[in-house]
Amino acid sequence: MFIKRKNKTKIYALGQHISMSAHKARRIIDQIRGRSYEETLMILELMPYRASYSIFKLVYSAAANASDNMDSDETNLIIFKAEVNEGTTVKKLKPRARGRSYPIKRPTCHITIGVKDISLYEGEYYVDPYINKDYLTPLKNPGWAYTDMIDENVYSNGGVWDKK
């Protein structure tokens, strides 16, 4: 008799007390949620924001955790969870004229990155939970394509869009 061990398929990396505002970090996190690991690294390297470096390190750490804990290949990783929560605010006082003080607030945030290995779901097809589209259907049926485009005549009936 043997005991079937349930594989852990989701791996997380958590960065706490990162000194940036949660709003600025969310601007970048929204761009990488639901993408593959390699595509995420390319996006983060080319983004001109300061927050992208901290998020890059967390994504890299989550992939390292997945390869160490699950022996998964980095090409099969998908970022399934990326969230930013507000942390504590560091408060200081800056001396000003006439003996007064001015408060300085340094916001911090907590960033959670979760990766999932899609090679463990070989028998199933992968449906992106954020877009609700099946990415493997075009690969199975070569003649099939998405038709989610907006009709060209939607904005041509006058109104704001026709004015110059």
Supply the CATH number for residue 70's domain: 3.90.470.10
The answer on pLDDT for 122 being more than 60 is yes
Task: Specify the range with the lowest mean pLDDT, choosing from 2-11, 72-81, 93-102.
Answer: 2-11
Query: Per the structure, how many domains does the chain have?
Result: 1
Sign of the dihedral defined by the CA atoms of residues 48, 49, 54, 60, in that order:
negative
Task: Report the candidate in 129, 91, 121, 128 with the shortest Cα–Cα distance to residue 107.
Answer: 91
Residue-wise pLDDT for 20-35, tens only, equals: 999 999 999 999 998 9
Q: Dmax of the chain from CA atoms?
A: 81
Confirm whether 22 is domain-assigned: yes
Confirm whether 115 is domain-assigned: yes
Confirm whether 84 is domain-assigned: yes
Kindly report the number of other CB atoms within 10 A of residue 131's CB atom.
10
Contact 65, 39 (CB under 8 A): no
Domain residue limits at 117: 10-121
Q: Which residue has the higher pLDDT, 135 or 69?
A: 69
